[in-house]
Amino acid sequence: MAPTLESADQLLLRTSGPIKRFDVVVFTRADQTTYVKRVIGLPGETVAYRNDQLYINGRHVSEPFLNQAKKKLGVLTSDFELKTLIGEKLIPKDEYFVLGDNRQISKDSRLFGTIHRDTILGRAVAVYWPIKDIQSLK
């Protein structure tokens, strides 16, 4: 999740409430590996990237949290359509499409598909440790 998060960051999680686009969530996969990723697509939506731009239900959606990385690294997200990744046109009920902010090397929904709501441990609301990294997450 660099540059948003570093590997040693300790997160404060909120375990209740709705999950919204661009929330940073912590979830566990079937192999018991825990991941921290950003919610990009919500249940019932289509997701696509064209020319490094996000499209939800055919409409462009800005990702301001990536602006600095795009200036430094150039293209972050290769083109794709949801159907080619998960075999479905829409994100299924109670499922979420997640991507890491470090798009060029992230293991995320492009690799393992959508995640089910029941696997989400919580939404990251803040980094509380180490002190140099303390921040609120939006």
pTM across the whole model:
0.93
The candidate with the shortest Cα–Cα distance to 98, out of 31, 43, 16, is: 43
The CATH number of the domain holding residue 117 is 2.10.109.10
Assess if residue 96 is contained within a domain.
yes
Assess if residue 3 is contained within a domain.
no
Confidence of residue 56 (pLDDT cuts 50, 70, 90): very high
Q: Which residues pair with 35 in a beta bridge?
A: 27
Burial of 70 per CB tally in 10 Å (0-12, 13-18, 19+) = middle
Which residue segment(s) compose the domain that 27 sits in?
A: 10-136
Domains in the chain: how many in total? 1
Q: Six-digit token pair at 104?
A: 């060029």
- Cα 47 off chain centre by: 12
21-39 per-position pLDDT tens digit: 999 999 999 899 999 999 9
74-89 per-position pLDDT tens digit: 888 999 999 999 999 9
Percentage of the chain with pLDDT > 90? 73
Assess if residue 2 is contained within a domain.
no
Q: Six-digit token pair at 22?
A: 């661009």
Burial of 124 per CB tally in 10 Å (0-12, 13-18, 19+) = buried
The candidate with the shortest Cα–Cα distance to 4, out of 121, 112, 106, is: 106
